[in-house]
């Protein structure tokens, strides 16, 4: 690893500290603008299991519109990276014939070069980092640094998702435990029978157990 790449790697490791998922995505786009050469703006596209594309952590509000145009037109580096390709670069959008409809929109917004980098591929969703530049010729030599950034970002996202899942599991367990206590007191049931009562309600109403639990806890607080 050359000295410049090593510097970027150390900077990335410092920037992408673990946190919850939302803050981690924001750190990634902020780090992209700060660390990667010629990046003017950045966002992250998440593709959900139902195929829906959604933009997260844009560093500029204009990216919500630019990303949305790519989703609607099914054109552009943002769309291609989120749906198929691992790495897409256009160093000069004005001379690139691949996305004629989207290119008009991008040029009107002052974007002259764009890149998409695949970040993660999971069961529930996959995602890509979208890089935008006002400079023609940007991202021509991004390759090695893009791979390094993708690796570092994927680690941070994986950790954040684990933390998020764990926190949700703990919160759900707490809610269900509180609801069991409410049912035990209200109907004079044992803990086992109180849990079975909630589980049966969940099944009969086709509602997740944690939602049933929230109803009972909220009802007890209101009462």
Report d(CA 35, CA 149) in Å as an integer.
9
* Whether the predicted pLDDT of 124 surpasses 50: yes
* Whether the predicted pLDDT of 53 surpasses 70: yes
Q: What are phi and psi of 48, to 5 degrees?
A: -80, 170
Q: What would the 3-class secondary structure string for 149-174 be?
A: HHHHHHHHHHHHHHHHHHHHHHHHHH
Higher pLDDT, 69 or 223: 69
Confidence of residue 188 (pLDDT cuts 50, 70, 90): very high
CA angle, residues 202, 167, 31, in degrees to nearest 5: 135
Half-sphere exposure of 29 (CA within 13 A, CB side): 26
Confidence of residue 173 (pLDDT cuts 50, 70, 90): confident
* Whether the predicted pLDDT of 7 surpasses 60: no
* Whether the predicted pLDDT of 1 surpasses 50: no
Mean pLDDT (whole number) for 25-29: 87
pTM of the model: 0.68
* Whether the predicted pLDDT of 147 surpasses 80: no
Confidence of residue 71 (pLDDT cuts 50, 70, 90): very high
Mean pLDDT (whole number) for 183-191: 89
Q: Judge whether 81 and 117 are in contact, CB under 8 Å.
A: yes
Q: What are phi and psi of 43, to 5 degrees?
A: -150, 175
- Output the pLDDT for position 38: 94
Task: For CA atoms 215, 218, 219, 220, give the dihedral sign.
Answer: positive
């Amino acid at each position: 690893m050359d000295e410049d790449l090593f510097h970027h790697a150390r900077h990335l490791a410092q920037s992408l500290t673990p946190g919850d998922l939302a803050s981690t995505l924001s750190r990634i786009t902020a780090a992209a603008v700060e660390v990667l050469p010629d990046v003017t703006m950045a966002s992250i596209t998440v593709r959900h299991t139902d195929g829906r594309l959604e933009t997260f952590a844009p560093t500029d509000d204009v990216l919500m519109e630019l990303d949305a145009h790519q989703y609607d037109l099914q054109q552009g580096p943002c769309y291609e990276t989120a749906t198929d390709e691992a790495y897409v670069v256009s160093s000069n959008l004005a001379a690139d014939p691949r996305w004629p409809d989207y290119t008009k929109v991008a040029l009107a917004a002052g974007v002259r070069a764009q890149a998409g980098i695949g970040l993660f591929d999971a069961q529930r969703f996959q995602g890509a980092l979208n890089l935008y530049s006002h400079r023609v010729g940007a991202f021509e030599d991004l390759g090695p640094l893009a791979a390094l950034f993708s690796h570092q970002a994927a680690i941070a996202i994986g950790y954040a998702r684990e933390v998020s899942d764990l926190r949700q599991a703990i919160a759900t367990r707490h809610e269900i435990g509180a609801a069991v206590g409410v049912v035990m007191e209200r109907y004079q049931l044992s803990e086992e029978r109180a849990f079975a009562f909630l589980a049966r309600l969940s099944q009969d109403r086709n509602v997740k157990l944690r939602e049933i639990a929230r109803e009972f806890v909220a009802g007890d607080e209101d009462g």
